[in-house]
A and B are shown apart, each in its own frame.
Chain A
């Protein structure tokens, strides 16, 4: 069956990733991949994907508290739960409709309510918000910040209070950047903070801090848009993003330094 010259097919590549090949075929595919770097790179991606997917969902394979009820046919209320949910959906639409009417009457008050969405999906926009803040404020000549570096202590106490977090303004002098100051600004619809730094040539960079609704920890990420580089991460209750028009390597150093000094 296993002929040395048997060509490696796409099915072989999938089966290789999914662990369905026998030992000999697996070795043949491995040898073949050494001469096919493009396919090899793709296989690595598929492997990484599979690992990520398993990590994301494996914890769900567990019994739930109400599984017994779910399976016991004796409960007629549960058997009609699909119907019940449909009714609930209709009821919910009705409520939405009615609240729409109410919005017409009490529009202003309702519209001023903050958005309820509080999950990590909103944090995906952190680098976007950081870039916007940089673009808006870093080019500002007269009022780039609300409170200047001459009042650093007041600045960090004030912004820290709004963020409910012991804020420090990282000292980046070792990397050639000194604090310009900071300002309060909305991040994800809540009070957030921006710190601004500049080097002797007037090149600026901003550090954005926003509240993270879910505690969590992430690795560092970067995103580039044109010449703008942004590094961002979440550490516990706060999400951070550093944006500047500097090289990625330089900005990474700066982000790492910020990360080190923000640590409490």
Chain B
């Protein structure tokens, strides 16, 4: 299981490391944070917003980092931010101006219909289910790691994962669509 570049990085004497070190460590985490934020968000711009909020929060809260596994700590912050946003959006849906299923340049190489279908299925998941699914499937975290990161019992991780997978499967099957090989 990949666990980031420096799971054992530890600040000496409990003090936060020097600004340069900390920021460089964050910088090296940005790509995987970007992937996680995009996997949670509804669009590219939404994903970048979430990433930016997360990096800001990580920098502001650097004093609270206990010096262990910066990647997991940043992922926890991201997950909480995402849950808060999601709750706000559900309560005030009009606030989200850029809620579009953006297909940007890098997406067009794939199958746009397939992507739309997948994104629709993902968007139907609750924030809690989606984050667990992504942490396990995309980010490769173990079940206990996810439980620790989200401060929930491992049983809850498993039930969310089951629920997310079954809901996705049902949603994807619902469309009565089967992919066929092109006659080329």
How far is B118's CA from A50's CA once the two chains are assembled, in angstroms?
11
Q: Does B158 contact A (CB under 8 A)?
A: yes
16 contacts between A and B (CB under 8 A): A20-B143, A45-B172, A53-B118, A55-B110, A59-B106, A81-B52, A81-B56, A89-B95, A120-B113, A121-B100, A123-B113, A216-B111, A218-B112, A222-B176, A222-B178, A233-B182
B97 to chain A: closest residue by CB: A92
Q: Does B137 contact A (CB under 8 A)?
A: yes
Q: A18 touching B31 by the CB < 8 A rule? A: no
Q: Does A154 contact B (CB under 8 A)?
A: no
Interface residues of A, count at CB 8 A: 62
Over the window 76-114 of chain B, the binary record of Cβ atoms lying under 8 Å from chain A Cβ atoms (1 yes, 0 no) is 000000000000000000010100111100101111111
Interface residues of B, count at CB 8 A: 66
B29 to chain A: closest residue by CB: A71
A56-B39, A223-B177 known; 10 other A-B pairs, CB under 8 Å? A10-B158, A57-B134, A119-B103, A121-B116, A123-B113, A216-B110, A218-B111, A218-B114, A219-B113, A221-B178
Q: Does A46 contact B (CB under 8 A)?
A: yes
A residues sitting closer than 8 Å to B (CB atoms) are 10-11, 14-15, 18, 20, 42, 45-46, 49-50, 52-64, 67-68, 70-73, 78-79, 81-82, 85, 89, 92, 117, 119-121, 123-124, 212, 214-224, 232-234, 252, 256, 259-260
Q: Which chain B residues numbered 30 to 72 have a C-beta less than 8 Å away from chain A?
A: 30-32, 34-35, 38-39, 47-49, 51-53, 55-56, 59-60
B residues sitting closer than 8 Å to A (CB atoms) are 1, 19, 23, 26-27, 30-32, 34-35, 38-39, 47-49, 51-53, 55-56, 59-60, 95, 97, 100-103, 106, 108-120, 133-134, 136-138, 142-143, 158, 161-162, 165-166, 168-169, 172, 175-183
